[in-house]
Amino acid sequence: MEYKKINCNSYNIHTIKTDKFKTVRMEIIFSREVKKEEMPIFTFLSDIMSDSSKDYQRRKDIAIRLEELYKATFYGATNKVGNLFTISFILEFIAPQYINEPDYLKNVLKFPFEVINNPRVKNKEFDLTNYNIVKKRIIEEIESVKESSDKLAIINALEKMDSTSPSSYKVLGDKEDIEKITPQSLYDAYLDLFNHSNCDIFLIGDINMDECVQIIKDNFKNHVIKLSKPRIIVNNKLRKKVLKVVENSNFVQSTLVMIYNIKSLDKLMKDATFHVFNYLLGSGGISSKLYKNLRVDNSLCYSLRSLYLKYDELLLIEVSLDDSNIKKAEKLIKKSLNEMINGDYTEEVIKDAKKNLIFSLKMGCDNNVSILNNYVFNYFDNLPLLEERIKLIENVQKEDLIKCGKALSINTIYVQKSLEKDE
Amino acid sequence: MKEIKLKGLNETIYTDTCPNGLQVYMWVKKDVNTFYGTLSVKYGSIYSNFKIGNKIYHTPHGVAHFLEHVKFNEDKDTTAHDYFFKMGADTNAFTTFNYTNYQVLGSTNPKDNIIHLLDFVQNDYFTKNIITNEKGIITEEAKMGEDDPYTVMLFKHLDNLFNNNEHKYLITGNKEDIKDITLEDIKLVFDNFYHPENMFLVVTGNFNPYEIMEAVRENQNNKLFSKYNNPQRIIAKENKKVRVAKEELNINVTNKKIKIGIKIAKDTFKGYDDLHIRILLSLILRASFGTTSDFKDYLLEKELISNLGYINEIFDDYVIIMFTIDSNYPEEVIKLFQDKLNNLEVTEKTFNRIKNANIASLILDFEDVEVVNGIIQTEILNYGDIIDNLKEIYENITYKDIKDFMKYLDVSNQSILVLKPLE
């Protein structure tokens, strides 16, 4: 694997050359700091920009062109990680050596730039038909969250924790945020995207990278000087007294969400140790403490989640279960955490957990998206590369895991109560 | 060991059969870190009624899924999870209508992991206590399904399409079914269906196929199995007409949804095998209702729908086509669908474009160890063997084939379900 960063003044091209994959992936990433009011409009924008352009006026036309390019895929996406907001345009296509067509690489690589450089705009407004289609789709997506008990509970719990924290901001926003967006304001956002964002292009695959860089340079002109990279960590406030919230729902199951702050861990602990800690606690599936205490020993639930929100410095535990078992589950979660803090696990279990995490990282080395993402976060946050992370995981010690447990401080206990009382 | 060369794809599948009847299929990719082993048992949720010789057996719905859950217990104190956790590998399982699948995904010691996959699935350790404890967990899983509108919609629709066929029932069974399942049911099913002659092993990724085959053969030779009883599933007599032609339902959705199901007796397609029915139907549906179709584009532009998806399946003697549409104008959209379905048309240009895109997909499929494993499973289950000329089959399909096939496509037997938000 060979990584190169090419400075093109107003943007960087990062190339990762590997012969491991038949597909080539390119991500054009615009990045900026999270701002609550900006995320819905940029999400709308990324959607409409990948749905249409001057030459391809409808999603149908784009889809036909992608089929002609041997089933390439192209889409826009927005993402929030901690305090970093990204607006990405992603292209994936079959490597040219499998296609008997001389100009294929040039044609496929220039396609996303043709689309994003030429939005379907007239009189400084996005086309109304495209606008209406995307608006409807996004509003329905926002509303559909209410259909998912666990997603809804997690969103509400984070909002109750602190509605002013970027950790609680929603990428899609609310229905009212989308209603406020107009074809004109979308065009303003389009200009803003190019004028006030950093831009990085990541490319991974088995292709001639010099040729690709030239094609990109020929097709993408971005005149904005690069800005400094935003600080990615969100400093969530600690609470002296735990916040307890109970809300009613229409669901058959109740959902319990417990949010903990993670206090003052150094980078190594965040990048490696806490992953092992969380694996032992709950993310490691049925062999973990939470699964053992809640599912295996007490049959309280089918599945649960222990989410390490590294860049929000939060740990979030979520479980759906019968309403009558909420109190018991809360106690068992606290018991599991106490066991973690007290070091109630053998060296052998730690060794096995590390082995499992290393396996996950090795799996990541087989996937072009994981490799590319690792380079993205290596660039934004100096996240060690996969091979280096494997070594860091190998060196994690029990006393470090205990420190992770001690760094937790309960913030919020949120209960989404079921509608019906089960027999 | 036999080597099956996949024509035009430059790929090889290794295959062999153990003396006890266990079939093994392997695909090697040397440049990945992982291997993926799956053991499939040709027994799923639709096998509630079966006969051995002249004796008929009835079991509650959900036994296949229940057995999958308890199968991981190896003895009083050990589960398969414990073993794989130590090995740094990941294990899981799932149950479908027609089979149960057990998996191991790892990066080291493929031989030991694969052998243990065989050992734990073929182990007959079941106790009353295990059955009792698991009921709570599976009931919570079934309740999760009740909270998921997409699961509710799918099974309500299948229930309306079928009169007696077992595809109408929940794979987990409902809460009452789960209560009714006994240790005797589990043993009966295990003894008769979990026989090597009714299983197949698929291993994909980085490993030595000769070493794996030798170890598997040795493992199977060292185990004693009773004679295979060859249990036969009793397929309920099914009326050709759908059970319910139209129904409206209020469930936990935020926007109205329509499901249009078409039930066609398979014998309508005279002279076509299952593989060709699937391929030709997929091409027609994609051309007529996919993202590149004028019809979908029109519905989106007129803001009559926000989303449209479809699947086609063969369930026993019936071909089922299911559309799922997000629309606030059900009556109008249903009418437009009827017009479209009764006037299906595919242009030669569209046909060629979609055909070429599908051929490109075939090449890309052979990149991911999990995808390839899934492809092999599907081919064995649906066609009983590896299709070594799939690319050729696609290449040989002509526009005339599509036109001819469309003559048999009778779309009159429909079940329509309209879902509205709770009042």
B241 within domain boundaries: no
Q: Are residues B374 and B284 in the same domain?
A: yes
pLDDT at position A423: 44
B341 within domain boundaries: yes
Q: A253 vs B144: CB contact, 8 Å cut-off?
A: yes
Residues of B in contact with A70 (CB under 8 A): 356-357, 360
d(CA A68, CA B353): 6
Q: A71 vs B357: CB contact, 8 Å cut-off?
A: yes
Select from A129, A140, A362 the Cβ nearest to the Cβ of B326: A140
Q: B107 vs A362: CB contact, 8 Å cut-off?
A: yes
- B371 is in which domain, residue-wise? 246-421
Assess whether pLDDT exceeds 90 at residue A89: yes
Pairs across A and B, CB distance < 8 A: 152
A361 with A389: CB under 8 angstroms?
yes
Q: Nearest CA to CA, how far is B164 from chain A (Å)?
A: 28
pLDDT at position B275: 97
Assess whether pLDDT exceeds 70 at residue A421: no
Running DSSP on this structure, what letter comes out for residue B79? Answer: B
A23, β-bridge pairs: A94
pLDDT at position B321: 98
Lowest mean pLDDT among A154-163, A177-186, B139-148, B412-421: B139-148
d(CA A212, CA A225): 22
B374 within domain boundaries: yes
Query: Which CATH number fits the domain A2-219, given the four candidates 3.30.470.20, 3.10.580.10, 3.30.830.10, 3.40.50.300?
Result: 3.30.830.10
Q: Are residues B229 and B251 in the same domain?
A: no
B238 within domain boundaries: no
Q: Are residues B130 and B187 in the same domain?
A: yes
For chain A, what percentages of helix, strand and coil (3-state, to nearest 5) are there?
50, 20, 30
Structure tokens at B83: 């073993």
Residues of A in contact with B146 (CB under 8 A): 252
Assess whether pLDDT exceeds 50 at residue B339: yes
Assess whether pLDDT exceeds 70 at residue A223: no
CA distances to B116, B185, B409 from B347, in Å: 52, 53, 17
Select from A22, A59, A251 the Cβ nearest to the Cβ of B147: A251
Does any CB of chain B come closer than 8 Å to the CB of residue A331? no
Select from B106, B255, B306 the Cβ nearest to the Cβ of A359: B106
Domain final residue pick, B233, B268, B285: B233
- At residue B237's C-alpha, the angle toward residues B64 and B98, to 5°, is 25
B240 within domain boundaries: no
Neighbours of B309 (CB within 10 A): 11
Q: Are residues B321 and B417 in the same domain?
A: yes
Q: What tens digit of pLDDT does each residue of A249-285 get?
A: 989 999 999 999 999 899 999 999 999 999 999 998 8
Is B43 exposed, middle or buried, given 0-12, 13-18 or 19+ CB atoms closer than 10 A?
Answer: buried
Domains contained in chain B, number: 2
Structure tokens at B40: 């499939």
d(CA B90, CA B83): 10
Q: A137 vs B307: CB contact, 8 Å cut-off?
A: yes
d(CA B369, CA A142): 35
- Residue from B68, B134, B166, B379 carrying the catalytic annotation: B68
Question: Residues B380, B384, B387, B393: is their CA dihedral positive or negative?
Answer: negative
Which residues, numbered 379 to 408 in chain A, qualify as contacts with chain B under a Cβ-Cβ cut-off of 8 Å?
A: none
Q: A140 vs B140: CB contact, 8 Å cut-off?
A: no
Decide if B68 is catalytic: yes
Q: Are residues B151 and B7 in the same domain?
A: yes
Q: A140 vs B307: CB contact, 8 Å cut-off?
A: yes
Structure tokens at A423: 């027999």
Find the closest chain A residue to B72 by CA distance. A286
Find the closest chain A residue to B299 by CA distance. A133
Find the closest chain B residue to A64 by CA distance. B292
Q: What is the pTM (predicted TM-score) of this model?
A: 0.92
pLDDT at position A100: 83
Q: Quick one: pLDDT band at residue A59, thresholds 50, 70, 90?
A: very high
Q: B354 vs A140: CB contact, 8 Å cut-off?
A: no
Assess whether pLDDT exceeds 60 at residue A422: no
Q: What tens digit of pLDDT does each residue of A379-400 get?
A: 999 999 999 999 999 999 999 9
Q: Are residues B129 and B228 in the same domain?
A: yes
A309, β-bridge pairs: A314
**A91 Cβ contact partners less than 8 Å away, ≥ 6 residues apart:** A25, A26, A27, A72, A73, A74, A108, A109, A111, A112
d(CA B120, CA B93): 12
Q: Nearest CA to CA, how far is A22 from chain B (Å)?
A: 6
Percent of chain B with pLDDT over 90: 95
**For range B183-212, the mean pLDDT:** 98
Q: Are residues B196 and B331 in the same domain?
A: no
Does any CB of chain B come closer than 8 Å to the CB of residue A420? no
d(CA A250, CA A237): 31
Q: A133 vs B369: CB contact, 8 Å cut-off?
A: no
Select from B34, B133, B253 the Cβ nearest to the Cβ of A299: B133
Where do we find the tokens 């050596």?
A: A97
Q: A60 vs B296: CB contact, 8 Å cut-off?
A: yes
Which residues, numbered 193 to 222 in chain A, qualify as contacts with chain B under a Cβ-Cβ cut-off of 8 Å?
A: none
Assess whether pLDDT exceeds 90 at residue B417: yes
Neighbours of B383 (CB within 10 A): 13
Q: Are residues B11 and B68 in the same domain?
A: yes
d(CA B374, CA B392): 21
Select from B140, B254, B356 the Cβ nearest to the Cβ of A321: B140
pLDDT at position A420: 63
Domain coordinates in residue numbering, chain A: 2-219, 243-417
CATH number of the domain where residue B157 is located: 3.30.830.10
Residues of B in contact with A250 (CB under 8 A): 252, 422
Q: Are residues B195 and B281 in the same domain?
A: no
- The top-level CATH class assigned to A243-417 is alpha beta
B299 with B326: CB under 8 angstroms?
no
Q: Are residues B308 and B170 in the same domain?
A: no
Residues of A in contact with B421 (CB under 8 A): none
A9 with A198: CB under 8 angstroms?
no
User: Which residue of B137, B141, B178, B372 to mutate against A (max A Cβ within 10 Å)?
Assistant: B137
Q: Quick one: pLDDT band at residue B153, thresholds 50, 70, 90?
A: very high
Structure tokens at B197: 């002659």
Domain final residue pick, B210, B233, B256: B233
B240 with B299: CB under 8 angstroms?
no
Q: A64 vs B366: CB contact, 8 Å cut-off?
A: no
Domain final residue pick, B204, B233, B262: B233
Complex ipTM:
0.88
User: Which residue of A99, A120, A136, A283 to mutate against B (max B Cβ within 10 Å)?
Assistant: A136
